Amino acid sequence: MKYLARNSFMLQQGKFVADIAYLLDEGAPSTMPIWGTGINPAPPEGYDYDYINTDVLINRMTVSSDGRLVLPDGMSYAVLVLPNSEQMSLPVLTKINELVKAGATIIGPKPERTPGYSGYPGSEESFKAIASELWAGLDGISRTTRVYGNGRIFWSTPVKTVLDNMDVRPDIEYSKPLDSRIDWIHRRTNDADIYFLANTTDVPLETEIRFRVTGKEAETWDPATGKTEPAGYAISEKSTVVPLSLTEREAVFVVFRKENTVTSRSPEEDKPILLATLHGPWEISFPQNSGAPAKITLDKLDSWTTNTDEGVKYFSGSATYTKTIEAPVSWLKGDIKLFIDLGEVCDIAEITVNGTSAGISWKAPFRADITGMLKKGSNTIEIKITNQWTNRLLGDQKSAPDKKILNSSVMVWGRNLNESGLLGPVKILKYFDYEETW
């Protein structure tokens, strides 16, 4: 809940930053693309976009002195993309004509007719006159660009080409290891640029991200831990490059709010010190009536699905790993933070040290703060692992009726067993610089 609250708090700050505004079609249904139909033309990578309807266009949109399309609440866009339609109402076309004359940049085909008979035939004559004037000389094939008033019209020109022509650089660019993908959102306040970045793949990602921000230091804000820290960066004339290391499915905020005193800064090393790796044996307790034995002992950590006991192999639910460790006094000295790192977990872990809960770890890295929980000498570590129900359903599917564990007739098709349990390695780590700040 803290994670969700921190994300929600940050994503309510300031205004959304987008370079492209897509005008929704006036036909029914007038909605954003749904069910995978896609956006046409597609927004180029590194630029974000917004949708507006004709009410916003006609009643709220104006053009600023630098040619951006602006709304009263502060939203602004570099270009307006028209729907790929041959029809357009006269009020919408009239407004587009005003915007282009005032300096706006428009991308879209010439409309051929109005969708109704309101004001006919005079409305049709006015429509054709305005459309012919706006798109004069353009055919969308050999002639695709026209200056009109203080603005420009583009027809059949890629959005990226138009933005390059306007010297609108991508808001974000990043180096791309194989199969990597980062989703992002940019918001801006009066004194800060806030980027939310998410690694949407199941593998860790080392990358450098180029942000369209200059003149400010970079910071990383971790919504999972509340930790904020200076980030490495290098400022050029029109952008700032920040190196980032993201675990699988990790999300982080990169914030620019402080005026820079230097144009570059190396990333601070915040690597923990390894105090111990917790090897076997591990005792695992399973709940009653789950099909698994009450207890088993593993010499090394492995997935439950590799176990020869079918009650363990197909187990679904929560099982508790228990281990006793010795903590020397050297672990407890100084102003430090102690963490337990569980390595790989399938799927959620709840950690208890000497009877005190260290919380639930639900995402990589599966790590919990255990500062103040360890004592000199003998300590009991308990790690409750909860997996998905699919494995037990698969086990019941192949079992005789009197051997089924769940009172369920659910059938699972085309699925293999999911790795389950604590896979490790489990480590005790020490940090010297760690503070929750938001």
3 lies in a domain?
no
Interatomic CA distance for residues 421 and 329, integer angstroms: 31
Q: What is the pLDDT of residue 436?
A: 56
Report the candidate in 129, 125, 64, 56 with the shortest Cα–Cα distance to residue 95.
Answer: 56
362 lies in a domain?
yes
The one-letter code for the residue type at 408 is: S
438 lies in a domain?
no
179 and 77 fall within a common domain = no
The residues that bridge with 340 in the sheet, in sequence order, are 368, 428
68 and 146 fall within a common domain = yes
End of a domain among 165, 198, 225? 165
181 and 148 fall within a common domain = no
- CA count, 13 A, side-chain hemisphere, 73: 8
End of a domain among 213, 238, 265? 265
Say what the alpha-carbon torsion angle 50, 187, 67, 209 is, to the nearest 10 degrees. Answer: -100
214 and 360 fall within a common domain = no
User: For residue 236, what is the domain's CATH number?
Assistant: 2.60.40.1180
Segments of the chain scoring below 70 in pLDDT: 28-30, 34-37, 178, 433-438
- The answer to whether residues 32 and 256 touch, using CB atoms and an 8 Å cutoff, is no
The one-letter code for the residue type at 95 is: K
End of a domain among 165, 200, 216? 165
- Structure tokens given for 273: 């010190």
User: For residue 69, what is the domain's CATH number?
Assistant: 3.40.50
234 and 377 fall within a common domain = no
Q: How many domains, in total, are found in the chain?
A: 3
**Could you tell me the residue range of the domain that residue 399 belongs to?**
274-431
Interatomic CA distance for residues 32 and 23, integer angstroms: 10
Please give the model's pTM, rounded to 2 decimal places.
0.86
DSSP class of residue 289 equals: T
Q: What is the pLDDT of residue 305?
A: 97
- The answer to whether residues 314 and 398 touch, using CB atoms and an 8 Å cutoff, is no
How many angstroms separate the Cα of 10 from the Cα of each of 81, 174, 196, 247? Answer: 29, 22, 9, 21
294 and 341 fall within a common domain = yes
User: For residue 426, what is the domain's CATH number?
Assistant: 2.60.120.260
288 lies in a domain?
yes
Q: Could you read off the pLDDT of 161-210 as tens digits, one per residue?
A: 999 999 999 999 998 776 789 999 999 999 999 999 999 998 889 999 99
22 and 93 fall within a common domain = yes
313 and 379 fall within a common domain = yes
356 lies in a domain?
yes
280 and 406 fall within a common domain = yes
- The answer to whether residues 207 and 180 touch, using CB atoms and an 8 Å cutoff, is yes
For 189-281, strand residue ranges (E) read 193-199, 205-211, 216-221, 228-230, 233-235, 240-246, 251-259, 264-265, 273-278
12 lies in a domain?
no
Unique residue bearing structure tokens 């349990």: 421
218 and 107 fall within a common domain = no
5 lies in a domain?
no
318 and 427 fall within a common domain = yes
- The answer to whether residues 50 and 80 touch, using CB atoms and an 8 Å cutoff, is no
103 lies in a domain?
yes
Which residues have C-beta within 8 Å of that of residue 9, sequence separation ≥ 6? none
Q: Could you read off the pLDDT of 274-318 as tens digits, one per residue?
A: 999 999 999 999 999 999 999 999 999 999 999 999 999 999 999
How many angstroms separate the Cα of 285 from the Cα of each of 298, 309, 315, 323, 386? Answer: 11, 14, 12, 12, 12
146 and 229 fall within a common domain = no
Please give the helix or strand (H or E) that residue 10 lies within, else none.
helix 2-10
